[in-house]
Structure 1
Amino acid sequence: MEGLARLRRRVAAYAAHDDPLTSAANWIALVVAWNQPFYPLYLWAAVGADKIAPSFLTFMSTPIFLAVPAVAKRHALAARVLLPLTGIANGIVSTKAFGVGSGAEIFLVPCALIGAALFRPSERAIGLVVVALSAVAHSIPLRFFGEPLAGYTAADNSAMVGLNALSAATLIVFIGLLLSGAMPAPDQRGDQVPRRK
């Protein structure tokens, strides 16, 4: 138990930032990175073990998500931009890997939400660019993606659409709760690590 408490404190210290929006971005990035290794297991349950290999391509983005809090310590705005751009790139890679029938492009919706919510009025142009890039990525012609990297059936696609929709909806709810203050980040609670000076 002490080991878990120590790990929790270290993660909270890593994600901590004086700027609440940047702190939120850090936690979103870490939650996404934490969940990525479980995606092949969910996919295994949905479509079978022989069709999960393409999911390992999504791990290319894991180190970048993990790096968002480190970037934030040097440049908060850059970290808040890096988060949705990494998500957009991951959405494109996922759509190529699993095919347009998988519903993987639904992960572009949380990216657009981040663009709309994580930038101040003075940064509104940057946020609108992120929203626009999410829309452009969603509008990439289907022929660009070609065939998926595994032989997914219509039943597989239906299962993946359900899985991806649930995952994206969960992420959207997490972002909403975090930004509304209904679920403060651990570094925003009085019993957690103090804010950096």
Structure 2
Amino acid sequence: MISVVKRLSAMARAYAYNRDPRVAAANVISLLVASNQPFYPLYLFWLVSSDITAAWFTFLSTPFFVTVPAVARWNDAAGRALLPLAGIGNTMLSAWLFGTASAVEIFLVPCGVIALLVFRPRERVVGLALAALAFGIFLLLHDAYGQPLARYDAAQYAALARLNLVSASMLTAFVAILFSGILAQAERSADAARHEKTG
């Protein structure tokens, strides 16, 4: 069993690998989200309600997250753009499935943050456009989803909102830690280059 896990982990690392740290980060985030999606119905069952029918529809977005590294190999900008777009699409789907009372729209925050971080300064217009899309989706569609597929009482919606708030916060924190590591590596490389010049 341990050998199988190690083999799968090695395959995932190889699939996510890219020499460009921003592309590699987008790949890692996409696979993290995809690997966590199967657990969402379980969290819903344990913490909210035994009615998890709506949760199964969230798997419609899984292929988009899984294919981010493959798309990035073909075109790294397209791969990086696919990540926040898949997140925005999944958030819109979830808002329709569970209703805005579930606070699932909070996932638009990490979507916007990711969009701003995965693009280089010279590509900033793309990141800003995707972040603006995430913000615009909230402003334009918040009251336009209609009746949700899932129907929960007030206590269950409160539990679902807590689940989504914690999940979105953890994802945002993970993204921040990941890019903090990228910045630290860039600083170390710059320091080493300066030492070589002055040495």
TM-score (norm. length: structure 1)? 0.89
Identity in percent? 46
Whether the 8 Å contact between 2:98 and 2:151 is mirrored in structure 1 is no
- Secondary structure, aligned partner of 1:149: coil
CA deviations on 1:78-132 (whole Å, 9 max, x unpaired) are 0000000010011100000000100010000000001111110110000000110
Q: Give the aligned residue type for 1:49.
A: S
Residue 48 (structure 1) shift: 1.6
Q: Give the aligned residue type for 1:164.
A: N
Aligned-partner Cα distance in 1 for 2:132–2:83: 15
Range moving further from structure 2, 41-50 or 111-120: 41-50
TM-score (norm. length: structure 2)? 0.88
Q: Which residue in the other structure is 2:194 paired with?
A: none
CA deviations on 1:32-76 (whole Å, 9 max, x unpaired) are 0000010011011122212x1111111001011000011111111
Q: Which residue in the other structure is 1:44 paired with?
A: 45
Q: Which residue in the other structure is 2:187 paired with?
A: none
- Stretches of structure 2 lacking an aligned partner (at least 5 in a row): 185-199
Q: Whose Rg is larger?
A: 2
Aligned-partner Cα distance in 1 for 2:162–2:140: 22
Q: Determine which structure has the larger helix proportion and give its number.
A: 2
Does 2:171 align with 1:155?
A: no
Q: Which residue in the other structure is 2:126 paired with?
A: 126
Give aligned pairs, total. Answer: 182
Would the alpha carbon gap of residues 142 and 26 (structure 1) be closer, same or farther in structure 2, given more than 3 Å must change?
Answer: closer
- Secondary structure, aligned partner of 2:140: coil
Aligned-partner Cα distance in 1 for 2:35–2:161: 21
Does 2:104 align with 1:92?
A: no
Aligned-partner Cα distance in 2 for 1:123–1:142: 29
- Stretches of structure 1 lacking an aligned partner (at least 5 in a row): 185-197
Q: Give the aligned residue type for 2:115.
A: G
Aligned-partner Cα distance in 1 for 2:56–2:65: 15
Aligned-partner Cα distance in 2 for 1:150–1:170: 24
